[in-house]
Amino acid sequence: MPKSAFLESVRVEIRTKHYSIKTEKTYLYWIKQFILYNDKRHPNKMSNAEIERFLNYIAAERKVSASTQNLALCSIIFMYRHVIKQEIKNLKYDFAKQPKRLPTVLSPPEVFEVLKCMTGKYHLITALLYGGGFRLSEVLSLRIKDIDLINRSIFIFNGKGRKDRYTLLPESLIPMLKQQIESARLIHERDLNEGFGSTSLPPALHRKYKSSLHTFTWQYLFPSTTRCKHPYDGYICRHHIHDTAYSKQLRSAVIASKITKRVTAHTFRHSFATQLLRSGSDIRTVQELLGHSDIKTTELYTHVIGSKRAGTPSPIDTLKFL
């Protein structure tokens, strides 16, 4: 579908509200799909009936998951509310109810087996996921300045829900972190020598910290292999590695480890929380480390270990793989 003035107005509204580039792409995708499904009619000429028909179509014909249905609905509601300035009321379609499932977790030996099948930066990313309870996006977004080797902590900027927090820096990962920092330094120095060296920043931070673009401490801990054009501000920069690059490495490692469970990057975050509770950590501490707003979310892991039981050593420090 070619670019249109209307879709560009949606993009502007998304960026005005400082949504992530990932959210922007997702919202635009579902809005395009909605318009295409309804024969390219302008959304201001459509209403509840067209929305309901589209949502039923993606559920029944495309067989998308409940979470994807909800995402499509959120995208459409955003468009009507913020771009067309129209509230959608009395919609005969509510958010799809997602099944409540206990998360898949790996035991320490299983984590060890996966780690044995990974090398280099991908090994370190996995170790951080399990050792600090990160989300994958949080690990990949780490900058050099976020790593505090002295106080043994890692700062997570603008995590889910736009919340900042600190989490554990596992003692056993310090040598690998130092090695990765030096690797990032070499890449940055090469960029500077070639007349580049800018890191990518969100537009708001770009305006505020423009002078810091070329400083090493603002560079990503896991820089991408190539430079790119910033999607908002147009300057040439180096972003972090893409999540799909990590996912491919993880998939290969899980196959090689012969573990039959379904393992994703988020599995290590689940395993981190479960292991902390098993080892007697206070549930409030685990909640803080994970960045949960509601302790009920954290309490889910007490069901995984079959107990209400909740020194917080990182679970990765018990693994002797170094």
Residue 174 neighbours by CB under 8 Å, 6+ apart? 149
Q: How far apart are CA 23 and CA 310, in angstroms?
A: 34
Report residue 133 as tokens.
Answer: 């309870």
- The reply to whether 284 belongs to the active site is no
User: Which residue of the set 188, 238, 269, 278 is catalytic?
Assistant: 269
User: Which residue of the set 32, 82, 160, 230 is catalytic?
Assistant: 160
User: Which residue of the set 80, 122, 130, 301 is catalytic?
Assistant: 301
User: Which residue of the set 11, 32, 82, 266 is catalytic?
Assistant: 266
User: Which residue of the set 121, 123, 135, 206 is catalytic?
Assistant: 135
- The reply to whether 82 belongs to the active site is no
> Maximum CA pair distance of the chain?
63
- The reply to whether 308 belongs to the active site is no
Angle between helices 21-37 and 48-60 (to 10 degrees): 100
Task: Provide the b/e sequence for 143-170 (b: ≥16 CB within 10 Å).
Answer: bbebbeeeeeebebeebeeeeebbbbbb
Q: Which residue has the tokens 């708001």?
A: 204
- The reply to whether 301 belongs to the active site is yes
- The reply to whether 160 belongs to the active site is yes
DSSP string, 4-33: -HHHHHHHHHHHHTT--HHHHHHHHHHHHH
Tell me how far CA of residue 294 lies from CA of 218, 291, 298, in angstroms.
31, 9, 7
- The reply to whether 135 belongs to the active site is yes
Active site residues: 135, 160, 266, 269, 292, 301
